[in-house]
Amino acid sequence: MACVHLTLGACPCTKSIITCSSNNTVEGDDSRERQHWGYSIELMLCDDPWNIKKKLTESDLGYLSRLLINKDLAENLVLPVLTPEQRVALYQNGTKILIWDMDTQSLHYLVFKFWVSSRSYVFIDNWTKDFVKRRGLKKGDEIKLHWNPYKKCFNFSVQYSS
C-alpha cells in the first residue's frame, strides 16, 4: 500500500509516523522494516550555479592577456555548450563567447581557444581590457562563470579578495 499525500511527518491516511533517516530510507512504527526510495528527500535551500570558479593568479593578470581555464572544467562545462562550428574554430583561431557581467550588467565577449603549444584552454582577446582593467582585478580575486542556456552566454561575477 502506498500513500500519495505530500506531508512532512504524520500521514493523514495512516496512524504511523514516517521519518527519514540519513541513509535515504523510510522508517515506520517498526524500524526493522525499511524501504529504499532511491533518492534523497533532504531539503536543499540553494544550489550554487557558479560551476566554474577560479582564483586569479599573476599569469591570469599578466602580459599574455589570457585567462587560463582548468582542462577538466573546460572539457566538462564549456565544450558541451559550444556548437559544432565553434568546436572546430576552437582549435584554429578560437571562437567568440558572449559574457554577461552580472555585477555591472554589461555584455562583453572573449575568444575561447585551445592553445596547442601548452595544451590548455584559454579565454583571450578582451580579457585584460574588458575584465582585468575595467573591474580592477587583482591576484587572489575569485572569478565565477556559469552557462546561461536562455541567453546563450556565460554569466560572470567577481568575488574580490580581502
Q: Give the model confidence (pLDDT) of 131-150 as tens digits.
A: 999 999 999 999 999 999 99
Greatest Cα pair distance, the chain, in angstroms, is 71
Task: For residue 10, give the DSSP letter.
Answer: B
Is this prediction's pTM over 0.75? no
Question: What residues of the chain score a pLDDT lower than 70?
Answer: 1-47
The confidence score (pLDDT) of residue 23 equals 44
CATH number of the structural domain 52-159: 2.40.330.10
The confidence score (pLDDT) of residue 30 equals 46
The confidence score (pLDDT) of residue 152 equals 93
User: Cα–Cα distances in Å, from 92 out to 107, 111, 118, 146?
Assistant: 25, 11, 14, 24
List the chain domain ranges. Answer: 1-45, 52-159
Q: Which residues contact 60 (CB under 8 A, 6 or more apart)?
A: 54, 66, 67, 68, 132
**φ, ψ at 138 (rounded to 5°):** -130, 165
The confidence score (pLDDT) of residue 26 equals 42
